[in-house]
Amino acid sequence: MQKILVGLKRVVDYNVRVRVKSDGSGVETDGVKMSINPFDEIALEEALRIKERGEAEEVIVVSVGASEAQQQLRTGLAMGADRAILVDSQESLTPLDVARIFKAIVDRESAELVILGKQAIDGDNSQLGQMLAAIWGRPQATFASKVELAGNKASVTREVDAGLETIEIDLPGVISVDLRLNEPRYVKLPDIMKAKKKPLDQLSIEELGVEVAAGIKEVTYEPPSERERGVMVDDVAGLVAALKDKGLV
């Protein structure tokens, strides 16, 4: 296999408590730690392990967003990716738009495998992998907890309600990964220094020949309502009465 493409999205770090802006126009990001989407980090780790086993020659990380996403791409390069591509966009794109952009990059790079996180922790859409596979016309395997490659086929174990399911897909194809697949490596200082010299290409959506359609319009944001205090009951009858008072039974 020549190339593996991995998507990296810039998101608010999962350890940070998300706060809505006072005007309700979005999520507060000023002074907030931003990181690689955790599922995407797992996807990159798996791609790097495939390359280290000699089953791929190059790992390319891709992000779609503002110029600040270069920071996350540089982290991906420090982890071990060979090249990075940033598709500049100041707009809030729909998953379908991003899938079209990834398809254009797949064609441009002649990638044989695309590995993505199963979802981003900000939008939680879990749509990109499925949409990309449909547009590309290639097989997909979602929510992978184990990946094995053999020639032009991939065996993927995924968790389902009844237990574990193992499927086999032909390559080229798309795989989206789950949390239990692996544990991403830590980035070391020498690797951070080396990453500064690795190529990071910036492209516009127009250069890729992708037309972005008017999609989802974000009207307003608001935090979830505060949880009500619990009620102590003495017995089952008291529990039933409390539930009836709330209209739950």
Going by CATH, does the domain composed of 3-245 fall within 3.40.50.620?
A: yes
How is residue 27 written in tokens?
């999520």
Indicate whether 127 pLDDT > 90. Answer: yes
178 conformational bin, left if phi > 0, alpha if psi -120 to 50, beta if neither:
beta
| Alpha carbons 173 and 152: distance in angstroms, whole number | 10
Return the amino acid letter for 167.
I
Domain range annotation of the chain: 3-245
Q: Quick check: helix, strand or coil at residue 120?
A: coil
- CB contact burial 185-203 (16+ within 10 A = b; e otherwise): eebeeeeeeebeebebeeb
| Alpha carbons 14 and 233: distance in angstroms, whole number | 36
Indicate whether 146 pLDDT > 90. Answer: yes
- Encode pLDDT of 151-199 as tens digits: 899 999 998 888 899 999 999 999 999 999 999 999 999 999 999 999 9
Indicate whether 215 pLDDT > 80. Answer: no
CA nearest neighbour of 218 among 116, 123, 121: 123
Determine if the peptide bond prior to 172 is cis (ω within 30°): yes
Q: Does pTM top 0.75 for this prediction?
A: yes
- Encode pLDDT of 14-61 as tens digits: 888 888 888 887 888 888 898 999 999 999 999 999 999 999 999 999
